[in-house]
Structures are given as C-alpha cells and as structure tokens.
A and B are shown apart, each in its own frame.
Chain A
Amino acid sequence: MYAAALCAAVTGGVGTSAQAAEPPAVEFIQPEAGDAAIVNTTGHIDLVWAVRPGSDGSAPAYELEGARSGDFAEPMGYYSGLDERTFLSGLAEGAYFFRVRALDAEARPGEWSEVLALEVDYVERWQVNLLMLVGLLCLAATVGIIVRGSLRAEGSSHRKF
C-alpha cells in the first residue's frame, strides 16, 4: 500500500523529469533530533518531518526507517509516502532510532536525516501493581456502596419514604 501510494505520487501526482535535482535534505521537526535520546513513557509518538530550511528543491515523497540499534543493522521501514508526519504506537520497552529521507520524482533517495533516538521507558511495574490494587479497592467500594445502599433503601422504603 505504501509502495502503491509512492508510485502514484511519483508517476501521477508529481510527474517525472529526466533532469530531476538531487532530493533535498530532510529533518525531524517534532520531536527534534538531538544528542540525547527522547524518553517516552507511553510507547507511542508523533513524528513530524520536513525539508530542511535552506535545502534546495521539494520532496515529492519520503521514507521513514527505524531500528533498535543506532547503526541501523536491522532497519525496518515504518513509512513511505507523501505525508510529512506519522503516528507510531505499541513500541516495546527499549531503544529506538529513526531517520527519514526524501525521494525524488523517480524514487531516488536523498541523504538520511540526523538520527532521532527514542527510549521507551514505561511506568515502573511496582507503581502499576500498586495503582491496580488501589483501582480494585475503589471499584469494590463503589459497587459495594451502591448495591448495599440500594438494597438497604429498598428494604426500609416504607419507613424512610
């Protein structure tokens, strides 16, 4: 499907040109790539990218790649198409690295962007267990108060009302 969208963009939406310029440089604009990894506690992230200001040319399409190691030894394609953003979710705990590049009208790739490092670090297990226990107790209290109160009120309805 991504490939189909890409082909449509390349052949139909943009047109082809034998003298197409080198695809422009691209950068992440949300979140911005930096030296330190971005810490994430939810396992989902919104990635937004754009042609780097000052870079020549426009990008008809993009390719987003991710990996679990910074050297991209085992890269995985996350997106390829016309959009300049994507939403990723369900990331398991640990390190992730992302990079994006432009593709020209003939699907020739430009240079990879600076790598965006992400560290998914979920809430501590003990905190989850504690809050789950609190949730169970509050639920029991809520149901108990309403059911017991309703039964009592029903039983004494003639006296009370």
Chain B
Amino acid sequence: MDVENITLSRETGWILLAIFSIAWVGLGIFWGRKAKDHEGFMLAGRNVGMALGAATAMATWVTSNTIMLAPQFALKMGIWGMLAYSTASFGLFLFAPMAFRIRKLLPKGFTSGDFIRLRYGKPVWVLFLVVSMIYSMAWLVSMAMAGGIVLQTLSGIDYKFGMSVILGVCVLYTLFGGLYAVIGTDFVQSLIILIGIVTVGAVVLTKVDLSVVYADVATTQPALLDVLMPVALLALFNNMFFGFGEIFHNNVWWSRAFAMRGDVSHKAFFLSGFLWFPIPVAAGFIALCAGSLGINVTDIDGVGPLVASQVLGPVGAVVVFVVVFCSLASSIDSLLAATSDLLVQDVYRKMLHPEASEAQLRRLGSILIVALGLLTWLIALPRMADLNVVLFLSGPLVASVIFPVIGGLYWEKAGQGGAFCAILLGSSVGLVTYYTIGWYAASLVSAAISLTVMLAALRIAPGDFDWKLLDESSVNPNHPDPS
C-alpha cells in the first residue's frame, strides 16, 4: 500500500473535482447551444478556424496518457523513453497534409469510416470498424483509469469514485454540446495544460540539482543512461507507428479535419504538433528525478503526478490535478463524440436505417454517448491491468491500418484485397509479436507487415480507383459500392 505519498487532503480533491465538473458542464451547455442540427452537433458547422483547430488537436492529443505514460516511459527507458513518447507528435505533422487531401477528396464526408467504405468497400470497412472500435474503447478505458489513478495518487480519493466522476462529467457535457462543446472546452483546456506543464517543469528544474539527478540515475538506474538500451530503441519506432496508426485511422482526427475550414486544417494540425512535442519531454523529465528526491514509486502509472506533487507540495498537487483533469476531459469528450458519430453514421445510417431523420440521428448520437460512457465505466471499474497494457495491446491493430489509409488517399492502384489482407495480417502478426517479443515491437512489426502486403498487392492485383467516387455530394447517394 502506498502510505507515504498522498499530498492533498481528500476534501481538497473533492472540492477541485466539483469546481471543474461544474465548469466543464456549464461551458459545454453554453457552447452546445450553437449546435442547431445534426451536422452542427457532429462537425461544428465545418467552419472551425486556425486557433480553435490547433488548440483542439493539441488538447485532444495531450491525453492523460501523455501526462502519466510519458513519465512512465522516462522511468522505464530513460532519455530514449521520453523521446519515444514525443514521436507521437510526428503523427500530427504527417496528418497535416493528409487533412488537406481529406477535405478535398471528401468535402461532405462525416467520418473516417465513410472514406474506408467508399474507397475499399464493405469487407474492409467492417474490419476497419472492428479495429477502430477496439482501439477507441482501449483509449477510453485507459483514460478513465488514469483519472481514477491520479485522483487516488494525489488526494487519496478512492479510484472507483474518482474514475466515475470524471467519466460522468465528460459524458454529460459531450451529451449537451456535441463537437461545438468539445472544441470550445478543448480551447480552454489546451491553454490550462500548456501553462500548467510549463510551470510545473520550470519549478521542478529550480528545485532539483541536475548533477545529483544524474549521479543517482547513473548509480541505481544505469541502463536509463545507455544510449543503446534495446527496449528503449525499439520503443522509439514502436511508439511512432502506434501514434501514426492512432491519428491516421481514428475518427477523432478525421472529424476535426472535416470540422476545420479547408484552408486552415493542414496548418492547424502542423501547429498542434509543434505545441505537443515538448510536453512528453517535460512530463517525462520529472519522473527521472524520483530517485534523487527519495520518492518511492509504488504505482508506476502515477509516477509523473506523484513526483510533481511531492516536489511542489500541495500547490503543485493542485496544478497537476487541474492539468490532468483538463487533459483527461479534452480527450474523453473528443473520443466519445467521434466514436458515437462513427456508430451513428457508419453503422446505423449506412447499414441499418439510410432514411433516418436528423432528429433520429441526433437522439441516437446522445444515447450512444451515454452507452459508451457506461461501457467504459464497467471495463475500467475493476482496474484489471496497468495503463501501458490496456493501451499498447491495441497498438498492433491500429498500426496495421496506417498503409491502407495513406495508400487509399494517395494511390489510385490500392485495392480492396490488399487493404483487407494488410489489416488482417498486420494485426495478427503484430498481436503475436506483442505476446512473443513484447509490446515494444508489436506496432512496428504490424506496420511492416501491412506495408509489405499493400506493396505486394499493388504488384499482383492493382486497382484503378476513380477519386470522384469519394465525393458523395457530387454523385448519386446510392452510388455503387467499389466492392
């Protein structure tokens, strides 16, 4: 049992939780009033500008995992570990030109599933939806778990209560406001996250002696300073491809590409990558100070908030609490909204009820947001595994979709068979790698298999896709399925 490290009183924790819960729900309702129709609810009127666009992308990508897993990476893998986590920003850089292309190819698109269905046909679409739903649930569950863990670490509030409240608040304001509320709260949250992280990083730097930190790490954790540490080197590429897979396939990012104005989407994603890059380094660095500060790490998931709160005292703990709450909220809301959109558009509207009215779609979207929240709560409640396990098990699945997505966007010759086999084989071999070699190689192997299959399919059975089929606004709504 961790008995030495609790920094805030339980009462303070509950008061902070109440203040921010009321604030997010209130702001959600305020911004949500703009959502007059289903498209407004889903895509914020397709008119999001540069500042809000960059802020929402950055805030969404600063998840609780960034605040909690980046320090874990640093503590497990040293300098390379911090950089490995930062490589997730490369996904935002590369998604910038993709967003531009997406807006041009699908001017009236709603979801990433739309693209896959129109580009590759139903079999690939179904496989893609399975991968996307597994990943989205893993991400949601890991964030809900992170919320409970951080509250318990900082204030001693029971994991189950903290996790339930944070998840409930995010469900509530996403329910009221849709993407308008998500993007509006993301803007406020991104400012708080940036200011909070920079402040914590700067204050920690003034409180520790770097030579002492170095000497302690060199004595007790020598491998963390080894530039050739095998696990760390592998994690560098593995995390990069996991990040590519997450961003390139997930509807969280596609919905933002559709929601932003066409002329700003690529700039907004590029800027968000720059804003995001230093955050894991700052969050990771403080974990390396744990040993020299005499802090016993009992729960690796909470090492970042733990060290920050121990160094900075109760005020620091409040700052960490607020930053983590913002990072959690900014990601959970986005994922709830984007995943419910995917289910409403791709499953209900496209598969079950093509004639559904605006009101029916909006009502179903709300029901699905609540249902997803409930499912996440049920899975996260027992806290069966650590954050790393929950999240990285989905790595090989999403990495297998990287090349089918970018091949589908840029290669006329990419076809259905190649994409289907690339996802299936990439995921399968990646999962085998996860269990036989380790999590630090699974996403990389999955991406490599997927690329090989896509390239082979281009040679063996090249397609010839007509890009105009992607624009549903210019063709018959019941246009032929490419399959």
Contacts and interface: CB of A to CB of B under 8 A. Distances in A.
A139 B237 CA distance: 8
Nearest to B402: A142
B425 to A, nearest CB: 15
Interface string B225-236: 110011101101
A131 B101 contact: no
Given A43-B231, A87-B298, A135 B240 contact: yes
Nearest to A90: B221
B104 A161 contact: yes
Interface residues of A, number: 52
Interface string B439-463: 0110011011001000000000000
Contacts of A93: 223
B351 interface: no
Nearest to B438: A41
Interface stretch (B9-17, B43-51, B327-335, B403-411): B403-411
Interface string B409-427: 1110000000000000000
B98 A132 contact: no
B97 A146 contact: yes
Given A84-B1, A123-B437, A149-B409, A90 B223 contact: yes
A3 to B, nearest CB: 9
Nearest to A129: B233
B76 interface: yes
A146 B104 contact: no
Interface in A68-109: 76, 78-79, 81-93
Contact of A83 (B4, B244, B402): B4
Contacts of A84: 1
Contact of A134 (B76, B236, B448): B448
A82 B3 contact: yes
Contacts of B303: 87
A46 interface: yes
A42 B386 CA distance: 16
A86 B297 contact: yes
B467 interface: yes
B220 A83 contact: no
Contact of A132 (B4, B225, B234, B241): B234
Contacts of B437: 123, 127
A81 B4 contact: yes
Contacts, number: 150
B234 A123 contact: yes
Interface stretch (B61-69, B189-197, B288-296): B288-296
A1 interface: yes
Contact of B444 (A2, A86, A135): A135
B229 to A, nearest CB: 7
Interface string A26-67: 000000000000000111101000000000000000000000
B448 A85 contact: no
A150 interface: yes
Contacts of B409: 149
A5 interface: yes
B284 interface: no
Contacts of A20: none
B370 interface: no
Nearest to B75: A89
B2 interface: yes
Contact of B237 (A131, A145, A146): A131
B250 to A, nearest CB: 16
B300 interface: yes
Which of B226, B297, B403 is most buried by chain A, counting CB atoms within 10 A of its CB? B297
A21 interface: no
Contacts of A161: 104, 467
Given A123-B437, A161-B104, A92 B296 contact: no
B300 A123 contact: no
Contacts of A136: 237
A157 B293 contact: no
Nearest to A5: B4
Interface in A124-161: 125, 127-128, 131-132, 134-139, 141-143, 145-150, 152-153, 157, 160-161
A128 B441 CA distance: 9
B35 to A, nearest CB: 30
A141 B406 CA distance: 10
B438 A87 contact: no
Contact of B411 (A1, A92, A134, A149): A149
Given A2-B294, A89-B221, A150-B97, A83 B3 contact: yes
Contacts of B240: 135, 139
Interface of B: 1-4, 75-76, 78, 94, 97-98, 100-101, 104, 217, 219-226, 229-231, 233-234, 236-238, 240-241, 244, 293-300, 303, 402-403, 406-407, 409-411, 437-438, 440-441, 444-445, 447-448, 451, 467
Interface of A: 1-2, 4-5, 41-44, 46, 76, 78-79, 81-93, 122-123, 125, 127-128, 131-132, 134-139, 141-143, 145-150, 152-153, 157, 160-161
14 contacts: A42-B438, A44-B76, A46-B300, A81-B4, A83-B296, A83-B298, A89-B76, A91-B223, A134-B448, A141-B451, A142-B403, A149-B406, A150-B101, A153-B104
Given A42-B438, A87-B299, 9 more contacts: A83-B1, A85-B298, A90-B224, A122-B230, A134-B444, A135-B240, A145-B403, A152-B410, A161-B104
**Which 7 pairs from chain A and chain B are nearest by CB?**
A1-B294, A90-B221, A149-B410, A135-B237, A90-B224, A150-B97, A87-B297
